[in-house]
């Protein structure tokens, strides 16, 4: 990974996403500690258009605890990142205010392009992709999907955010458990409408990050997600209930529930890019850690 040296500082990132709130503490690009809490903010946004008061309280308490945990571990800098719930909820501004009051550290609402940039930085830093090679990074979140294309040396030169993620697609098209083939076809049509006008530069290789990609890797038994692998996984997920997927593949129930949507989105993005996806470590939190460590060294 990036920045393995004795002088690295310990930093922490709290990521407030559509499905989970996650704590990531790292030094020199190496994870030191992590934690996560499933809060389902995106589901509330999809159902009500805003985040209800009990959820605002719940997420504020969780973020405050994670920030305190990072400080107890010795993190010199801690930052809270808010992704699609802050952009999509009608009361997104109130969410940010509540988190700022609870965390007492910088709270940053990421734009869709910020998400794409950080995911690209985190993914390419975790791989050995040649510096000048054109690479795509796909990050399927609960509420949105980010696609970026660029080189490890120059960063993303093209980026696009699709305003649908695994949780939102599940709520719209895949509510039955298991969803069935017809529902999966409806989900494919829904994603197709979002991607209809998306024309990315065609990369030499494509990387997939995020929880859906990591869970799908367990099902296919390989980090390579090609057409055959994702087609077989989609057939399985269409016909097998969440409880059995959880037991057979050691996937958290909440993740297994949204995985049919995840594979539909990943397959559609892969088709647009014209290459298979390769699941890699890294992503938004790892990209944010790189930025924090860089800022810490510059201020020293």
Can you give the pLDDT at residue 6? 43
0.75 exceeded by pTM? yes
Can you give the pLDDT at residue 158? 95
Q: What's the pLDDT band for 194 if we cut at 50, 70, 90?
A: very high
Q: What is the mean pLDDT of residues 269-274?
A: 97
| Span 195-211, pLDDT tens digits | 999 999 999 999 999 99
CA angle 13, 19, 20 (to 5 degrees): 35
d(CA 224, CA 217): 8
Does the pLDDT value for residue 23 go beyond 80?
yes
- The token pair at 26 is 């790292």
Element (H, E) at 25: strand 20-27
Q: Which CATH class is domain 127-279?
A: alpha beta
136 forms bridges with which residues in the sheet? Answer: 149, 206
| Per-domain residue ranges of the chain | 10-111, 127-279
| Homologous superfamily (CATH) for 10-111 | ATPase, nucleotide binding domain (3.30.420.40)
| Span 85-94, pLDDT tens digits | 999 999 999 9
Does the pLDDT value for residue 300 go beyond 70?
no
| Span 117-162, pLDDT tens digits | 999 999 999 888 888 999 999 999 998 999 999 999 999 999 999 9
CATH fold match for the domains 10-111 and 127-279? yes
Query: What percent of the chain has a predicted confidence (pLDDT) above 90?
Result: 84
Does the pLDDT value for residue 169 go beyond 90?
yes
Q: How many CA atoms lie within 13 A of 16 on its CB side?
A: 32
Residue 285: asked if its preceding bond is cis (omega within 30°), the reply is no
Give the residue with greater pLDDT, 129 vs 227.
Answer: 227
Does the pLDDT value for residue 261 go beyond 90?
yes
Residue from 210, 197, 55 nearest 120 by CA: 210
DSSP letters, 56-87, are: HHHHHHHHHHHHHHHHHTT-SEEEEEE-HHHH
d(CA 81, CA 179): 32
d(CA 65, CA 71): 10
């Amino acid at each position: 990974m990036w920045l393995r040296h004795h002088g690295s500082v310990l930093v922490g990132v709290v990521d407030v996403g559509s499905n989970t709130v996650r704590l990531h503490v790292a030094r020199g690009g190496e994870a030191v500690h992590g934690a996560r809490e499933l809060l389902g903010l995106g589901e509330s946004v999809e159902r009500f258009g805003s985040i209800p008061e009990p959820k605002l309280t719940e997420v504020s308490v969780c973020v405050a605890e994670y920030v305190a945990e990072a400080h107890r571990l010795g993190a010199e800098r801690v930052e809270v990142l808010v992704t699609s719930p802050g952009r999509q909820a009608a009361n997104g501004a109130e969410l940010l205010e509540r988190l700022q009051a609870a965390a007492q550290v910088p709270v940053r609402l990421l734009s869709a392009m910020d998400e794409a940039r950080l995911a690209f930085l985190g993914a390419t830093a975790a791989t050995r992709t040649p510096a000048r090679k054109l690479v795509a990074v796909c990050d399927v979140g609960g509420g949105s999907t980010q696609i970026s294309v660029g080189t490890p040396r120059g960063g993303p030169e093209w980026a696009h955010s699709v305003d649908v993620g695994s949780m939102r697609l599940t709520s719209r098209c895949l509510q039955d458990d298991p969803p069935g083939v017809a529902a999966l076809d409806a989900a494919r049509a829904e994603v197709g409408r979002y991607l209809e006008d998306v024309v990315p530069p065609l990369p030499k290789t494509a990387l997939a990050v995020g929880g859906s990609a990591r869970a799908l890797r367990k099902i296919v038994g390989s980090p390579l997600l090609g057409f055959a692998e994702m087609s077989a996984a989609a057939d399985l997920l269409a016909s097998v209930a969440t409880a059995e997927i959880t037991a057979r593949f050691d996937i958290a129930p909440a993740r297994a529930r949204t995985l049919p949507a995840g594979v539909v989105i990943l397959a559609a993005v892969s088709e647009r890019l014209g290459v298979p996806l390769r699941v890699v470590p890294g992503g938004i939190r790892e990209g944010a850690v790189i930025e924090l460590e860089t800022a810490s060294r510059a201020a020293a």
